[in-house]
Amino acid sequence: MSAVFEGYERQYCELSSNLSRQCSAASSLDGGKQKKQKISEIKAGMDDGDTLIRKMELEARSLQASMKASLLVKLKEYKTDLNNLKSELKRITSAANNNKDELLELGQADTLVSSNDHRGRLVMSTERLNQSSERIKESRRSMLETEELGAAILQDLHQQRQSLLHAHNTLHGVDDNIDKSKKILTAISRRMSRNKWILGSFMAAIVLAIIVILTIKVSR
């Protein structure tokens, strides 16, 4: 989760708890200047809450989609919480203006019950979202480990491919040398055959010459 969002979230939770206490305190006042002052303080706190929610929304929308979705769900809960506090403040203000204590107590009780119920649901939702965020972080760590393993395997395969290419080039060079050797041996064989014919012809000529010489000598 974004550290900036967490900072705004912490400020809002503290502000929400403070506003809830202030609303309870304002509802217990009989009226007059003190109650009006308390209502003014609560309204100022509401404005601060609106500002914090806007900042959280801007921060959430600037993040990646995987993180933004869970933060926007949280933000929706905070908006609902602030609207409940505003409704509670309206009931307190209306009761103060109309000076109807009975309606004020009834409205206050209903709002407090609703607000407490909603705050309980908000806490549970926050815990579930935090657990989901942890699971997402764990999945992301596993994915990164898998990517690193895959990269190592690809690197190893690349090295093996280079070794095979080198071996193939070496074998190709050996084949070329064998072909050259065959050509040389073939040329030597042909030359030897030619020399054999030349030597045989020369020896036949010598034998023929000896026979001729012997024939001439015998005839004399």
pLDDT (tens digit per residue) in 132-155: 667 757 746 765 674 776 466 468
Token pair, residue 33, equals 């200047």
CA pair distance 220, 218, nearest whole angstrom: 5
Report percent pLDDT > 90 for the chain. 27
**What pLDDT is stored for residue 203 in this prediction?**
86
**Token pair 């764990």 is at which residue?**
138
Q: What is the pLDDT of residue 147?
A: 73
Is residue 48 very low, low, confident or very high in pLDDT (cuts 50, 70, 90)?
A: very high
pLDDT for the residue 65: 85
Please check the confidence at residue 108 and state whether its pLDDT lies above 60: no
First CA to last CA across the chain, in angstroms? 131
Q: pLDDT band at 42, cuts 50/70/90?
A: very high
- What pLDDT sits at residue 109? 53
Residue 92: phi and psi, rounded to 5, are: -65, -45
- What type of residue sits at position 107? G
Return the axis-axis angle of helices 65-98 and 33-61, rounded to nearest 10°.
170
CA–CA dist 176, 170 (Å, integer): 10
- Tokens 């972080």 locate to 137
Mean pLDDT computed over every residue of the chain: 80
pLDDT tens string 162-180? 875 885 677 577 678 778 8
Give the pLDDT of residue 104: 43
The residues, ordered by sequence, that sit 6+ positions from 44 with a Cβ below 8 Å of its Cβ are none
Is the whole model's pTM more than 0.75, yes or no? no
| Predicted local confidence at residue 27, as pLDDT | 84
Q: What is the mean pLDDT of residues 118-137?
A: 70
Instruction: For residue 164, give both structure tokens.
Output: 């095979």
